[in-house]
A and B are shown apart, each in its own frame.
Chain A
Amino acid sequence: MSATTYRTCPRSGLQFEASAEKLMIINAVTAVVALLVGGILAIGVVLTRWPAVHWLDADTFYMVLTAHGIDMLIFWIIFFEVAVLYFCSSTLLRCRLATPKLAWAAYVLMLVGAVMNNVAVFQGGSSVMMTSYVPMMASSWFYLGLILFAVGALIACFIFFGTLVIAKRDKTYQGSVPLVTFGAITAAIIAVFTITSGAIILIPTWLMSLGVVQSVDALVYRTIWWAFGHSSQQINVAAHISIWYAVAAIAFGAKPMSERVSRMAFLLYILFLQLASAHHLLADPGVSTAWKVVNTSYFMYFAVLASMIHGLTIPGAIEVAQRAKGYNNGLFEWLRKAPWGNPVFSGMFIALIGFGFLGGISGVMMGTEQLNMIIHNTIYVPGHFHATVVVGTTLSFMALTYFLIPVLFRREMIAPTLAKWQPYLFGFSMYFFCLVMMGAGTLGVSRRHWDMAFSGAAMAYEWPGAAYLMMGLVGMSGVAAIAGGAIYIYVTVGSLLWGKKLDQGAVSEKFTPIPPTAPTVVAQSYGSAGFTAPGTFALAMVFLVAFVLYYFVNWKYLSTLWGLA
């Protein structure tokens, strides 16, 4: 076994193993580079869809849109998630990382795959969108890049599982793994399913692009591709919810209200989240109604139930912790007195609210079998997933980064005032961006469409003026959000380059196990004194009312359409 060292961070008390730390840093930094590339591409996307600007020409637009989707949804998020997985295993369990050399090989595979895919897209022959539906074909390098990346990510998942085994064997902790690690395990299990599905469909498609395989069925492709495409977003959900629990713990010392409830909710994710690939096939031929209904609802909405539980228990845990500190007046003093100037907290909380209200409600609406017909392939869909993946996942990752700059990167943050405002600028402009996109989508405006004026078409359709207005607002809020993203990158990269170096803390040859805590009376009664989080409950009821109203408004809308049977 190679010698390694463990350092204890003086600012957080977390213990970092040397090889794991380097791998976390390199994966996180690569993720930020992918975010930078994707963010630059976003400028092209929003300035083209803003009807008054309509910047890029059609083939550049589709190329830029393809690259934007893949760089953001796959490369930025998964590189960052690998860092999160290593953090949740090696750091939180205070053990060494399993097979660091293999972890470097996984990183290199992912990097080569990501670069190969990007080069293929920017050569221009692979503007097939992230979904790359057959029989439209990209260059073979496009698929090979994705396959290499997926293999690397799969290896990283198994290194995470191996690290859990090491922690158990070396007895670095007693009892059960922390809740955050449990959430990361959920993410990794979903990732294995996801990446395997991706391999099952992308390998034959790659062979088809090489001429080895004659054809891949268009509907079979859509079915299996979405087991990869949608489930990969479920990795994000599990990962960013784990981060929310982590931030609640870091910023407030909050404990889960009930370990049992939160872990059960993660278990529901493992069991049911993957069914959601059906969301993308609701408007397709060939799949039966029963299949659609059972799958699209995660078998009676069990994964929605899980998200609604997390949505309550995370702010609930914060409320209980704040009330224990004496912020007990009224329903909301605990929330008013929260550290709103700390971007770690504000970013996480803006992500949580936006993910629930915008991403969650819209996701359930559009995932309803019949209601899907009024939004399928409209710009409502990107409106929804920018609320989940950008407001939810990306903003959570940004919030975590602000915590990691001093702790993992050992740098003092430059421009703390900018960082303080960044979650508000980015989060609220994305809220607005998602809302107006959904508004335009409700009016029918197509996604992935270069020109809503249909220039050159003999029978052009004239969208209502409101649709043009909304798309203009999409452009403006998109630019504001990109500015927010740029501040994040400036603060992060700037701190890494120019931030004052901080003390690394005591280094030891041996790990220090997590000391067991005696189960005190306080621990056993915590969060269960009766009705401990009334403010959170009130917020949850507001959420429920919004959810129910919006849901039925859309049924009303559906009932006015042409009869379909």
Chain B
Amino acid sequence: MSAIHPPSERVWWKHPLDRVEGTWILISFIWCLVMFGMMVGWHIWGKQNLSTETYKTTPEKFSAKTQAMVDKYTVRTETADKIPVVAPPAGSDVYLIARLWSFWPILELEKGKTYRLHLTSMDYNHGFSLQPANINVQVVPGYEHVLKITPNQAGTYSVVCNEFCGINHHAMVSRIYVK
């Protein structure tokens, strides 16, 4: 009778298809393939693909590597906490620690140059939300995520933590300078 009754036709699977349905299924299916193709194609032709290079790490190991970078390339310090501003050479490995409730250190990069940005968290999950460019990446403790980044515009960028990490989550915000 209707959708709340058993089908009145016992062999309902032989019911002929209406052209409205048939056409729509075909169009939808083609659109689904286009969307699937876009995602695959962007890996070939697109310039914004999130790297999946990942290593297991520990807070000690990652801190040591970050400290080595800071010792070598610090150009100045900023804010009352004297957070080092680090200007590593183009093409190098740069490290950014996320922890309750700050990012460390501040990076200073060059426009058009490519860097290998290593991200991890010392404690809880954090978010790496680059503003106003609006690039958002999850930062997971125990995992070192290596992104190849190429800043395309000079300016002062903010890094906002956008994964809830406790009471001072709203104050967890830092900067990246691009010259």
Contacts and interface: CB of A to CB of B under 8 A. Distances in A.
Interface of A: 58-59, 62, 92, 129, 133, 135-136, 173-180, 217-219, 222, 245-246, 248-250, 253-262, 281-289, 292-293, 296-297, 300-302, 304-305, 308-309, 312-313, 316-317, 364, 368-370, 373-378, 442-444, 446-452, 454-461, 463-464, 514, 516-520, 523-524, 527-534, 536-537, 540, 544, 547-548, 551, 555, 558-565
B50 A370 contact: yes
B136 A258 contact: no
Contact of A444 (B2, B10, B131): B131
Contact of A297 (B31, B36, B164): B36
Given A58-B167, A313-B21, A565 B158 contact: no
B147 interface: yes
A451, A527, A530: most-surrounded residue (chain B CB, <10 A)? A527
A511 to B, nearest CB: 15
Nearest to A137: B124
Interface stretch (B60-68, B91-99, B149-157): B149-157
A517 B4 CA distance: 13
A176 B6 contact: yes
B129 interface: yes
B35 A309 contact: no
Given A285-B145, A454-B173, A537-B23, A176 B152 contact: no
B7, B78, B124, B131: most-surrounded residue (chain A CB, <10 A)? B7
B165 A136 contact: yes
Nearest to B174: A459
Contact of A562 (B33, B124, B149, B175): B149
B141 to A, nearest CB: 5
A452 to B, nearest CB: 8
Contact of A378 (B14, B129, B169): B129
In the A-B complex, the 4 residue pairs with the smallest Cβ-Cβ separation, listed nearest first, are: A563-B150, A285-B145, A461-B158, A301-B32
Q: How large is the interface on B (under 10, 10 to 19, 20 to 34, 35 or more residues)?
A: 35 or more
A528 B16 CA distance: 6
Interface string B7-20: 11110111111111
Contacts of B175: 459
Given A448-B164, A449-B170, A531-B18, A176 B138 contact: no
Nearest to B119: A285
22 contacts: A58-B168, A59-B167, A92-B4, A129-B164, A174-B6, A179-B4, A219-B142, A248-B3, A288-B52, A293-B40, A302-B32, A369-B39, A370-B46, A373-B50, A377-B163, A378-B136, A444-B136, A447-B162, A457-B173, A517-B5, A540-B24, A563-B48
B143 to A, nearest CB: 4
B2, B40, B161, B175: most-surrounded residue (chain A CB, <10 A)? B2
B167 A301 contact: no
A458 B51 CA distance: 31
Contacts of B136: 283, 373-378, 444
Nearest to B103: A459
Contacts of B42: 370, 555
A254 B46 CA distance: 47
B162 A446 contact: yes
A565 B160 contact: no
B1 A316 contact: no
B8 A530 contact: no
A255 B2 contact: yes
Contacts of B163: 133, 377, 448
A544 B31 contact: yes
Contact of B18 (A529, A540, A563): A529
